[in-house]
Structure 1
Amino acid sequence: MDDLLIAVPENPAPDGIEAGLLQTSDGISIRYARVPGRGETKRGTVVLLPGRNEYIEKYFETADDLARRGYGSAILDWRGQGGSERLLANANRGYVESFDDYVRDLDTLFEQVVLPDCRGPYYILAHSTGVLIALLASPSLTNRVRRMVLCAPLLGLAGSPATTTWVARLARFLYAIGLGKMYMPGRRNRLKTPDFSPAALSSDPERFNRNRATVTTSPGLAINGPTVAWTRAMFRAVEQVTDPDFMARLHIPSLILAAGSDRVVSNSAIETYARHLRSGSLLTIDGARHELLQEADRYREQALAAFFAFVEGTGDIDF
């Protein structure tokens, strides 16, 4: 296995994984990995798009599941997190000026890895912030990607609309007075390796502790809370992808998976978006928490079954 990746006994790397570094058009170093499909039937490549403060190693299990089904996979760490280049001197701060920079990261992965080195057809399996980036990039991916499965999309924050509006206004104000690199108030002291609790983003203690072991071994993979600039950029991206004119340009068939017990993103915002997305449909996995691909088997297996049914066109999805 490449030295760029961290494997621990609780989280072994998939067979055949390769990793490397890419250079984006604006000079940022991005870590990526790819895993070949196994078996006689090769079904194409799934581009895995992680969420905020995630990293390639967190998706070893998912990449292995895909490989056993005959799918190769490609995954990256977004700039400013995981094993990719940090954007601030304080490497713990989650920072970006614009989500268009993340779209540039994704375009780099396609141009330098997916298109030249990975078998088509191509699919996207994205989580949370990764969904928001996939939607932003979607107009330019129409001729590249056959289908997308979008898990727990970041289209709004859980809680009341009034609270979300207040957070957005605060981020804009703090950014306008030059405090973009500051942590958002109340978000600085988020632990990189918290203990499992009822507030965890997964109800599965084994997978939770597996990911915790990875970060304990390599703390530099994780970051702390988002900055003012990141929060402002996130709200601007949400405004863009929810604009009706922008949505009319989204033509890639998409399945949206909502987690019924999500405490991070707004399920009402997801439901509204799905109703207005001409090329999309929605499936809610009742009882699941935010991290669907890190969840307990009874939830995670539903998400994977929905993915395979949708991309393979094997029939209706019914749970």
Structure 2
Amino acid sequence: MSETEATPSDILRSTPDNPVPPNHFAGFFTGHRGARLRYAVFRCEMSPARGTIVLLHGRSESIEKYYETIRDFNAMGLWVATYDLRGQGGSDRLLKKPKKGHLRRFSDYERDLDLFLEQIVLPDTRLPFFLVAHSTGALIALSAAPRLANRIERMALAAPFVGLTGQALSQGMIRFIAGALTVIGLGQISAGSDQNGRAFAGNPLTSDPKRFARNGAIGTSNPDLMIGPPTMRWLKETLAAARRVASQAHLTAITIPTLVLAPMRDGIVPYASQEELARNFRAGQLVNIIGGRHELFSEADVYRVQALAAIEAFIPGNEASSPVAGDAAA
């Protein structure tokens, strides 16, 4: 296990309508350049397990937001291993002002994933390994995928961050401004206003008022887990990565069978960009979620159930005994 581990109740947070799933362990592992990153592993009751899902979050999210989805994956007979991305949730912040959503290099995200697989997933969870990711997490998965073929069996990517919509400026203009400000040393400037506490009406994330309120309560009860708008450098790095992973050369290098879950009413990532990604993705298969908004795992049941059913059908179980990964490697 990680070199830094404490009582899980000291690490994971709970609210009345969002209790911590049972049968888990949690701690901190050392990411790239010494970043202290919070993680948790949730075991299922099925024995042997069908495998382990490595769950990657979107920007500004935390482990707490995925408790319901973790329970769903556990009910499928799968363990879940997840961690807070650097700069958010319970992981180390990157600037003196902790509410700023910052990033130094996009490759830092990828190196953190590599270290999580090496330090936590491989020695402490169950084979085979699958990757499920949302938004920015899906962008990280796409970027790292050419190097993951010998470790990850299949990937399911929900609303992958391969474009940006719903902004006052065009994506091209945002990319130009973010790049220019970063070059002249102003990459730590925040882009936009803080959207925490926004009203449910007109939100681009989910059509489910209960899950929207639940997610808001996580932040109200645990303000230290929250971050504000991204910095210009974060935008520069992620938009450059989004352009790169959508290129034909990069997509051709990915051999892991991949499911692209595309909500057709996504107000953050253009549906057309997700559709274009899947069209050029030889190992990818597109599943349209008609009417769904950006956060499929927090959406109304009519959309959320479609996404979960597609993942369950796509991720095969391991019919043979599932040994501890470290034992198998040995």
Query: Shared fold by TM > 0.5?
Result: yes
Contact 2:204–2:268 (CA under 8 A) maintained in structure 1: no
In the alignment, does 2:101 pair up with 1:101?
no
In the alignment, does 2:148 pair up with 1:141?
yes
Cα distance in structure 2, aligned partners of 1:215 and 1:47: 24
Equivalent residue, structure 2, for 1:53: 60
SS of 1:290's equivalent?
A: coil
SS of 1:42's equivalent?
A: coil
In the alignment, does 2:302 pair up with 1:298?
yes
User: Which residue type is aligned with residue 229 of structure 1?
Assistant: R
Equivalent residue, structure 1, for 2:46: 39
Summarize deviations over 1:293-314 as a string: whole Å, max 9, x none.
Answer: 000111100000000011128x
Summarize deviations over 1:52-109 as a string: whole Å, max 9, x none.
Answer: 0000000011111111111000011000000000000000101002211011111111
Cα distance in structure 2, aligned partners of 1:127 and 1:7: 22
Q: Which runs of no fewer than 5 residues in structure 2 stay unpaired? A: 1-7, 318-330
Contact 1:38–1:69 (CA under 8 A) maintained in structure 2: no
CA-based RMSD: 1.5
User: Which residue type is aligned with residue 52 of structure 2?
Assistant: T
Of 107, 112, 118, 1:111 maps to 118
Cα distance in structure 1, aligned partners of 2:166 and 2:280: 22
SS of 2:285's equivalent?
A: strand
TM-score normalised over the length of structure 1: 0.94
Deviation at 1:260, TM superposition (A): 1.1
In the alignment, does 2:201 pair up with 1:197?
yes
Cα distance in structure 1, aligned partners of 2:24 and 2:204: 29
User: Which residue type is aligned with residue 258 of structure 1?
Assistant: A
Equivalent residue, structure 2, for 1:260: 264
TM-score normalised over the length of structure 2: 0.91
In the alignment, does 2:187 pair up with 1:183?
no
Deviation at 1:39, TM superposition (A): 2.4
Deviation at 1:194, TM superposition (A): 2.5
In the alignment, does 2:76 pair up with 1:69?
yes
Of 278, 283, 287, 1:274 maps to 278
Cα distance in structure 1, aligned partners of 2:123 and 2:200: 41
Number of aligned pairs? 310
Summarize deviations over 1:184-210 as a string: whole Å, max 9, x none.
Answer: 2xx1x3132323222241111111111
User: Which residue type is aligned with residue 306 of structure 1?
Assistant: A
Cα distance in structure 2, aligned partners of 1:236 and 1:260: 24
Cα distance in structure 2, aligned partners of 1:47 and 1:194: 30
Equivalent residue, structure 2, for 1:317: none
Contact 2:204–2:267 (CA under 8 A) maintained in structure 1: no
Equivalent residue, structure 1, for 2:325: none
SS of 2:130's equivalent?
A: strand
Equivalent residue, structure 2, for 1:80: 87
Q: Which runs of no fewer than 5 residues in structure 1 stay unpaired? A: 314-319
Deviation at 1:21, TM superposition (A): 0.4
Deviation at 1:159, TM superposition (A): 5.2
Contact 2:32–2:108 (CA under 8 A) maintained in structure 1: no
Of 223, 229, 232, 1:225 maps to 229
In the alignment, does 2:234 pair up with 1:234?
no
